Amino acid sequence: MVCGDRVEVRHDGDAGVIEAVLPRASLLYRSDAFKSKAIAANVTQLAVVVAARPSFSMELVQRCVLAAEDQGIASLLILNKADLPETPAARERLNLLTGIGYPLVMLSALTDVAPLHPALHDHTTLLIGQSGMGKSTLINALFPGADVVTAEYSEALDSGRHTTTHTRLHRLDTDSAVIDSPGLQEFALQHLDANALAHAFVEFRPLLGQCRFRDCKHETEPGCRLQEAAAAGEIAPARLKLFQTLRRLQQNAAQRL
């Protein structure tokens, strides 16, 4: 079982016995060449939390969003610590995703989380991101009784410290919940084959199948529609480069097995 699973329970005195796990609507997980790690089930929205300090990995953010797309899960970007002077630069980095339609909420979890409430309504939202982005502070602000441990990030190392050790679901109201998860430093996507990976890039979808060659790898092949679109500014070259990088990583991992 994984956090977010729905189960059938049989009452046995003061205790309960899980008799069945109901079918999942979605399962968000990550995997490398050797193992898979399930994160949460029945999630309807992924919220990737970032901040200007400590610095965040744009590639990690995109990997999380790609995994969500593969499962048909909506994605939301949360830029926390919006009062920091470096926030405009962080916001500009996120244009790579906001420019193709991913919504962004900017806030400071220490002062006001009200801007986030409308985005959480009627969703089971998984909060995910690197350590130090303020996920725990955000959970404490949304759920005053949660008492999640927080910690200062290291300026010398430009990284956060792990405070959340397990995934936990918090009920916001009858129809809404938020799942808190431990901080990430990596998010492997080995479970996505080349076709699934390409389809996870939402802006690629209208172009797929239009290349000259059916087995186009979208690298240097003539008549590649994705390469043409990147050259013409129809899609961001950085997004095509990320796809090519991830595909090569998949191939290299498969060859090592």
Q: What is the pLDDT of residues 6-38, one digit of tens each?
A: 999 988 778 888 989 999 999 998 887 677 889
Based on the domain organization, do 212 and 146 belong to the same domain? no
Tell whether 134 and 201 lie within a shared domain. Answer: no
Q: In this structure, what token pair is assigned to residue 157?
A: 């190392």
CATH of the domain at 131: 3.40.50.300
> Are both 172 and 198 inside the same structural domain?
no
Residue 34's pLDDT is what? 74
pLDDT digits (tens, 9 = 90+) for 214-225: 999 999 999 999
158 pLDDT above the threshold of 90:
no
Give mean pLDDT, residues 136-161.
66
pLDDT digits (tens, 9 = 90+) for 184-220: 888 889 889 999 999 999 999 999 999 999 999 999 9
**With bands split at pLDDT 50, 70 and 90, how would you rate the model's confidence at 151?**
very low
Q: 126 has which bridge partners? A: 46, 179
Residues 6+ apart with CB under 8 A from 192: 66, 67, 70, 200, 250
Mean pLDDT of 49-72: 95
Burial 167-190 (b: 16+ CB within 10 A, else e): bebbebeeebbbbbbebbeebbbb
pLDDT value at position 33? Answer: 65
Task: Say which DSSP state 24 is in.
Answer: P
User: Domain end: 132, 157, 180, which one?
Assistant: 180
Residue 238: give the domain boundaries: 194-256
Segment 93-125, tens digit of pLDDT = 999 999 999 999 999 999 999 999 999 999 999
Are 198 and 168 contained in the same domain? no
Domain boundary among 180, 212, 238: 180
The pLDDT-based confidence of 90 (bands split at 50, 70, 90) is very high
- The pair of three-digit structure tokens given for residue 253, joined into one six-digit string: 């991992």
Residue 149 has pLDDT above 60, yes or no: no
pLDDT tens figures, 126-147:
999 998 899 989 999 999 876 5
CA–CA dist 219, 98 (Å, integer): 25
Question: Average pLDDT for residues 64-92, to the nearest whole number?
Answer: 96
- pLDDT for the residue numbered 120: 97
pLDDT tops 70 at residue 246 = yes
User: In the block, which residue shows the tokens 């244009």?
Assistant: 95
Q: Is residue 185 part of a domain?
A: no
Do 116 and 152 fall within a single domain?
Answer: yes
